[in-house]
Amino acid sequence: MTEYDENIPTHEPETNVVPTGEIAPIMYRAAGFWVRLLAFTIDLLVIAGLNAIIWDSLLPAAATPSFLNQVLHTNALFLGLTGAAYFIIMTHYFQQTLGKMIVGIKVIQHSGEPLSWITVVFRELVARSLSQIMGLNLGYMVCWFNTEKRCAHDFLSDTWVVYEKPGGDSHYISVEAGKAT
């Protein structure tokens, strides 16, 4: 190699080299509307089954048309006590509900930190209720119009719903690898 050759810039492809001691971010593929709808439908069936087992066996048949029954069961504004407890507990401990487990998606935070109780309770009670307001479920349709495939309750709680297995071919979410669970 001559002195002249050393001054010629090389055009080697850039690699994703991470400095020693640092962990490369994990790339997750964002879950879209239809897979999330399927997971939510499965979850509604699970909640209906739980309601039938828990509340129908505890409450007498005469209490069925009452306000108490409407609060305990699924209705247009809220998923009822069983549904709220189901979504909060499953999302906090597993990052996913049974419906999400079946279709292979989970809830994450961009920072890669585990979901905190505050984040989960806010997401599942306040933000989800706003997404479902008056039974229109318009907050879910927000997912169609943004590249991150986030619904209104995801934006409000700073969460993403992604496929469990990192990788895929589009709509990636980058998460710090050292903190993801």
Per-residue pLDDT tens digits for 158-181:
999 999 986 655 566 677 665 555
Which pLDDT belongs to residue 15? 41
CA nearest 124: which of 91, 76, 161?
91
d(CA 137, CA 131): 6
- Residue 152 within any structural domain of the chain: yes
- Residue 181 within any structural domain of the chain: no
pTM (predicted TM-score)? 0.72
Which pLDDT belongs to residue 19? 59
- Residue 16 within any structural domain of the chain: no
- Residue 60 within any structural domain of the chain: yes
| Beta carbons of 127 and 156 less than 8 angstroms apart | yes
Q: Provide the domain limits for residue 165.
A: 23-175
- Residue 137 within any structural domain of the chain: yes
- Residue 114 within any structural domain of the chain: yes
- In total, how many domains does the chain have? 1
